[in-house]
Amino acid sequence: MRARSLGKAVVAAIAGLAFAVPAAAQDRPYLGRAQAAPVDAQSAFEPALTCMDELLSRSRSVGAGHILVPLGITDTTQKGGLTRDMIIGAATKMSQRSHFFRIILDSKSVPEGKGYFQTAGSVTAFEQQIESKDVGGGGSIASVIGGTVTNRTGLSSLTVSLYLIGPNQQLIDGTFHARTLKLESKGKSAFLSGFLSFLGGSLSMTTSRSEGPQAGVKALIDLAMIEAVGSLAQVPYANCLARVSSSESTNAQWQDFKRMKPAQQRAAIVAEMTRRGLAPADPSPIQLKQAILSFERNQGLAPSGEVRFELYEALMRIGADPAPMNRPSMGKPAVRVSGVPGPFRYGGTLPAVDANDKLGFQVTVAEPAYVACFYTDAAGKVTRVFPNPGRASYRLSPQEILRMPNEQDAYVIRPERKGTGEWFTCFAGREEFLPRVSNAVPDAAFVTLGDIHSARELVEAMLAADPSLSTDTLSFRVE
């Protein structure tokens, strides 16, 4: 079914906002990556990278659109894998909402007169000891990242250093970081395990021999990128490292999940998704699949639409107490609005989009809060798009990403007038606030506010009705 305009075809709606039937749930999960890929796309530092994105998006002083020319770091062992791709992956995850980095693969393509950063560093691995498990056996020497000899345990050390340099090849002060991972490879089990101590905690990891030391290199690159960018932007990145799950926590969740029967696993996931307003009560199999797909895409998980441990772990992690983050003054809950990557272009005074682009917006909070969001088009029509009849629950948890529209929403947002500005505004409060402010701002979704004609008037009306609310507005140009 074609999207139908809410501007002229439906009374009391906004120009540029249209209904569309959601796409059918995908029958099969995406492959995600080739089966023979040397290293998994995820690492234990995924929550920390997401947190860094959050910190950078909330910091008003660091800006956005900094050009990064990623270069693979020196690897004399030839065992680290595609280090440039790992750096790109870490930089991309830190820029999804903050748009901190603009990645250009060749320095010759950087616009003339623009400054940029490059990555540099090295991967080194040296064998410390090989000891035999055989009775009466002695020590022996084998290859780096050993354990290739049956019934032998190899102990080795993997070190990754990473730093940022400018166009003049000068080191950017404070960005050099080096970390060492102790590795133990077991010939019988064909597994590689390691332990890493870092600021804010420690990491125990176990990977298959087919991944080899590449998984360790990726973890170290993720950590070094967090530390380098955190030092560059002067944000409290230690708070993000505190979010790295310990292996004990993950193992405990896995044991809990494994003890459940399939029906109990489904019930636990449905209960949590229903509580968050991500799925309707007692969803059908198709509704649950669509809700899971939407949640997985919003959270950066490989979309499968299936009840599985990775989904359960993500829901439990989001529900856990957050690490401390920057909060606005007066004790208000922090809220942050950004444009979904794609149509939004950063680098100028304001983000820019093209007319008729399909827009998406995402919102995060630093502590549990109720959130309401409004879209203001170029004609000055202000409409609440969240919460709405399709998603009535408007309580948001830390680490959770609220995307509008998402796959379940039956509307799209498209700006229509070139050469104008538009706005997306969200409010957050510790308690339910929409009924309390309804005299100033009607408690209704998809209805144009007749007495409010700009984002500024909206903010003034909401804060006059409830000064305890916090707010954030994304202003953007339509070209």
Q: In this structure, are residues 55 and 97 in contact, taking their beta carbons and an 8 Å threshold?
A: no
What single-letter amino acid sits at 204? S
Nearest-CA neighbor of 273 among 373, 406, 366, 374?
406
Q: What is the DSSP string of 172-217?
A: PTT--EEEEEEEEEETTTTEEEEEEEETTEEEEEEEETTTTTHHHH
In angstroms, the Cα distances linking 386 to 16, 343, 372 are: 16, 21, 5
Gyration radius from the chain CA atoms:
25
Identify the CATH number of the domain defined by range 46-248. 3.30.160
Q: What is the mean pLDDT of residues 182-205?
A: 56
**CATH level 3 topology of 329-478:** Immunoglobulin-like (2.60.40)
CA 413 to chain centre: 22
How far apart are the two ends of the chain, measured CA to CA in Å? 28
Using DSSP bridges, classify how beta strands 191-198 and 335-339 pair: parallel, antiparallel or unpaired.
Answer: unpaired
Measuring CA to CA, which residue among 436, 435, 432, 429 is closest to residue 369? 429
User: pTM value?
Assistant: 0.55
What's the average model confidence in pLDDT over 102-123?
A: 88
- Please report, as a single letter, which amino acid is at residue 222: D
Nearest in space to 235 (alpha carbons), one of 100, 56, 96: 56
* Cα 197 to Cα 205: distance, rounded to the nearest angstrom: 12
pLDDT in tens, 398-421: 767 888 887 767 788 999 899 999
CA–CA dist 139, 144 (Å, integer) = 15
Q: What is the mean pLDDT of residues 306-313?
A: 85
Query: Which DSSP letter does residue 36 get?
Result: T
Domain assignments of the chain as residue spans, ordered by start: 46-248, 329-478
Alpha-carbon gap, residue 278 to 311, rounded angstroms? 13
Exposure string for 263-292, b = 16+ CB within 10 A, e = fewer:
eebeebbbebbbebbbbbeebeeeebbbbb
Cα–Cα distance between 450 and 478 in angstroms, integer?
24
> Is residue 25 within 8 Å of 286, Cβ to Cβ?
yes
CA dist 128 and 78 (Å) reads 18
Tell me how long the chain is. 479
Q: Residue 3 — pLDDT band, cuts 50, 70, 90?
A: very low
On average, the pLDDT of the chain sits at: 74
pLDDT, one tens digit per residue, over 330-387 is 456 678 888 887 788 876 778 889 998 889 998 888 788 899 999 999 999 999 999 9
DSSP string, 290-320: HHHHHHHHHTTPPP--S--HHHHHHHHHHHS
Please write the tens of the pLDDT for every residue from 29-39: 333 322 222 33
